[in-house]
Amino acid sequence: MNSFGNKFRISIFGESHGECVGITIDGCPAGLLISEEDLLEDLERRKGGKQKGTTPRQESDFPLFMSGLFNGKTTGFPITILFDNKNTRSDDYKNQRSIPRPGHADMTAHQKFGGYEDYRGGGHFSARLTTGLVAAGAIAKKIIPHIKITTHIKEIGGETDLEKGLQKAIDAKDSIGGIIECTVKGLPFGLGEPYFDSIESVLAHMIFSIPAVKGVEFGAGFSAAKMFGTEHNDSIINKDGKTKSNHAGGIVGGISNGNDLVFRIAIKPTSSTPKMQTSYNWDTNQMESFSIKGRHDLCVALRAPVIIEAVTAIVLVDFMQLEQKINRVLL
Helix or strand (DSSP H, E) at 280 = strand 277-281
93 binds a second copy (CB under 8 A): no
Q: Closest Cα to residue 181, out of 216, 147, 148? A: 216
319 Cβ neighbours under 8 A, 6+ residues apart: 191, 192, 193, 199, 202
Q: Which amino acid is at 148?
A: K
Distance of CA 264 to the CA centre of its chain: 13
Q: Mark the segment that binds a second copy (CB under 8 A) among 12-20, 46-54, 55-63, 137-145.
A: 12-20
Q: Which amino acid is at 49?
A: G
7 binds a second copy (CB under 8 A): yes
Cβ(15)–Cβ(123) under 8 Å?
A: yes
Residues 275-314 that bind a second copy (CB under 8 A): 275, 277-280, 282, 285, 287, 301
Convert residues 40-59 into a mask of x (bound to a second copy by CB under 8 A) and - (unbound).
--------------------
The count of chain residues that interact with a second copy, using the rule CB under 8 A, is 148
What is the closest distance, in whole angstroms, from the C-beta atom of residue 16 to a second copy in the complex?
11
96 binds a second copy (CB under 8 A): no
What is the closest distance, in whole angstroms, from the C-beta atom of residue 65 to a second copy in the complex?
7
121 binds a second copy (CB under 8 A): no
**Could you give the CA distance from residue 302 to residue 53 in angstroms, rounded to a whole number?**
8
What is the closest distance, in whole angstroms, from the C-beta atom of residue 295 to a second copy in the complex?
15
Q: Which amino acid is at 257?
A: N
Q: Mark the segment that binds a second copy (CB under 8 A) among 40-48, 49-57, 60-68, 143-151.
A: 60-68
77 binds a second copy (CB under 8 A): yes
238 binds a second copy (CB under 8 A): yes
Among 135, 144, 176, 187, binds a second copy (CB under 8 A): 176
Among 105, 136, 262, 316, binds a second copy (CB under 8 A): 105
Burial pattern 130-162, b for ≥16 Cβ within 10 A else e, equals: bbbbbbbbbbbbbbbeebebebebebbbeeeeb
Cβ(190)–Cβ(278) under 8 Å?
A: no
Residues paired with 152 in a beta bridge: 181
Of 147 and 180, CB closest to a second copy? 180
Among 46, 47, 104, 142, binds a second copy (CB under 8 A): 104
Of 43 and 83, CB closest to a second copy? 83
Q: What is the DSSP letter of 175?
A: -
The DSSP string of 283-302 is: TTTEEEEE---S---S-GGG
Of 41 and 108, CB closest to a second copy? 108
Give the count of beta carbons closer than 10 Å to the beta carbon of residue 124: 20
Convert residues 150-169 into a mask of x (bound to a second copy by CB under 8 A) and - (unbound).
-----x-xx----------x
Helix or strand (DSSP H, E) at 183 = strand 178-185
Q: Mark the segment that binds a second copy (CB under 8 A) among 10-18, 45-53, 55-63, 138-146.
A: 10-18
Residues 177-206 that bind a second copy (CB under 8 A): 177-179, 189-190, 192-198, 200-202, 204-206
